Amino acid sequence: MSNATDTPTVGGKGNYDGGYARFLKAYQDFKGECPKGVTLKLQKTGTRYNLLLQFKQPPTGKRLPKTANLECTPQGVIDGVKKAKLVSEALGTITSASEFWNWYDATISGKNQIEDNLITYREIFQQLEDEYFAGYNRNTGRKRSRDIVSDLASYHQSKGVFFEDFPNWDEYPSWESFKAMLYTPLQNGEQLIGSQTFRERYYILKAIAEKSPNKEHLLKKLEPINAKQTQFRKKQRISIDAFKDWWYSAKQEAYTVKSPQHQSSRHNWLWVTGMAVMYGLRPTEIAAAVNLTKPFVTDDGITIKALSDPDNQDNYLVLGDYVYFTDAEGRKVSIKTGGRVVAPIPSPEMFDFLELKRPLLPEYSPKKGSQPKTIAGGFDKKFTHTIFSMKCPVTQKYAFRRLYNLLGEKYGLPIELRARLMGHSTIVNEGKYKTEGIDATLEVLKGVSKLPIPLNVAIERLTALGVDIDSPEAKLFLRVIYQIN
């Protein structure tokens, strides 16, 4: 080991006390990893050494060394390579000299902060994951948990699947990798710009940029991009007559199936379609019903009769927060909009036609080792597969919810009540579930024509028919019907 008088004086915060050889070896080993055009520079001034970055500096284009707040230590060399890559990217994307130097001062020369800010995609992804599971379900307000399958599936669908598009998680965020991820073509061959995927990628990149050391640079590159979704999946819809015709035909055909197991399966899933239409539920929500065959008692002692109870005329359905099946580890599957009480469309005739008083909830058990997304969506997927095999005119499960919404409007349920029963807002109801078209309008008008009329109109019509509205009997009827004091 050299004595103290032979040890070079080093710049920055390094103090080797004989360890200069380790620093020099790190410098020789790692300097070759710098990108083309930006290199590490070990500069000696008298007996003092400083570790700098050297590159063509805007606006002069002269290749000169520049302080970069680096220690003359092995770690300083590693940090220098990281900073060299950031500078290389900035030189290729930032066109204004003043903007570059502002960025350089904040990102490269920042005092005592840049080392902490130099984090990889992997570290950022972990932060975003932790923040997600520290948050709350936006529909129900329930705290998210890694012990709930639906939360794991939702995390993967909204974030994890996009993280997988980055090939090297140990890189540092750069515009080049952002751009490669954002503009990767869709696998189905459809147009990328204007798609839901493009919009979702864009906002994931913004979230990543917010945690990056070159945040301002990345956000500025994203800002002019129009991520508005312009391509939408065509909404399927089915009329009440078409649904009833298909349902009855499929019911009759189910009896001809030779396999008792397959016959039972068809009857079960047909019952689910009837429940979806009459209660406006997603198939998975029906799997969360808790009073199909036994009454439900609330915490404050209110009893809601079983759906199968012949004396139950209200036919209220109680949904729990979770479905009846779990994954192999016992983790629960929640429903999208949380537990609640729902009521059917006020049409006893149709309720009886669909035989809903005889619950036939299908059995479903996720396969061991299935991914959370597969487990959480398995019941819905089985539903779609089965109705397709029974030649249903529609395959989108939301088509049945749209029919419920149409029937609710037809039978006079206000939009606020329909939205509440379906588990969303009036804005969502109006934008996602309103059925357009002349046939839909006529269906609603048929129902409206059968709704109760205003008091003054009733008096006018009764008078025209020769009824003495001042008689005690007429006054009694009007007082009861219109709740007159």
pLDDT at 9: 35
25-34 own/partner pairs: CB under 8 Å, 24+ apart: 25/74, 26/73, 26/74, 26/77, 26/78, 27/51, 27/77, 30/77, 30/78, 30/80, 30/81, 31/77, 31/81, 33/81, 34/80, 34/81, 34/84, 34/85, 34/88
Please compute, for residue 409, the number of CA atoms within 13 A of its CA located in the half-sphere on the CB side: 21
pLDDT at 445: 47
Is pLDDT at 18 greater than 50 in this prediction?
A: no
Q: What is the rounded distance in angstroms from the CA atom of residue 165 to the CA atom of residue 160?
A: 9
Is pLDDT at 382 greater than 90 in this prediction?
A: yes
Question: If we measure between CA atoms, which residue out of 15, 23, 17 comes closest to residue 40?
Answer: 23
Q: Could you tell me how many residues make up the chain?
A: 485
Report residue 454's pLDDT band, with 50, 70 and 90 as the boundaries.
low
pLDDT mean across residues, the chain? 86
Is 240-448 a CATH 1.10.443 domain? yes
203: Cβ–Cβ under 8 A, 6 or more apart, which residues?
227
Reduced to 3 states (helix: H, G, I; strand: E, B; else coil), residue 288 is coil
Q: pLDDT digit string (tens) for 328-378?
A: 889 999 998 888 899 998 889 999 999 999 999 999 999 888 999 999 999
CB 202 within 8 A of CB 225: yes
pLDDT at 24: 86
Overall average pLDDT of the 398-408 stretch: 87
Q: pLDDT digit string (tens) for 239-291?
A: 888 999 999 999 999 999 999 999 999 999 999 999 999 999 999 999 999 99
How close are the terminal C-alpha atoms of the chain, in Å?
106
Is pLDDT at 20 greater than 90 in this prediction?
A: no
Q: Please list the residues that pair with 53 across neighbouring strands.
A: 40, 66
Q: pLDDT digit string (tens) for 285-309?
A: 999 999 999 999 988 899 999 999 9
pLDDT at 5: 36
Neighbours of 70 (CB within 10 A): 26
Overall average pLDDT of the 44-61 stretch: 86
Question: If we measure between CA atoms, which residue out of 344, 479, 363 comes closest to residue 421?
Answer: 344
pLDDT at 211: 92
Q: Please list the residues that pair with 40 across neighbouring strands.
A: 53
Neighbours of 279 (CB within 10 A): 24
Q: What is the rounded distance in angstroms from the CA atom of residue 122 to the CA atom of residue 120?
A: 5
pLDDT at 415: 83
Q: Which of the residue ranges 109-113, 224-228, 249-253 would you say has the lowest mean pLDDT?
A: 109-113
Q: Is 436 or 190 the better-scoring residue by pLDDT?
A: 190
Report residue 207's pLDDT band, with 50, 70 and 90 as the boundaries.
very high
What residue ranges do the domains of the chain occupy? 4-116, 125-222, 240-448, 452-485
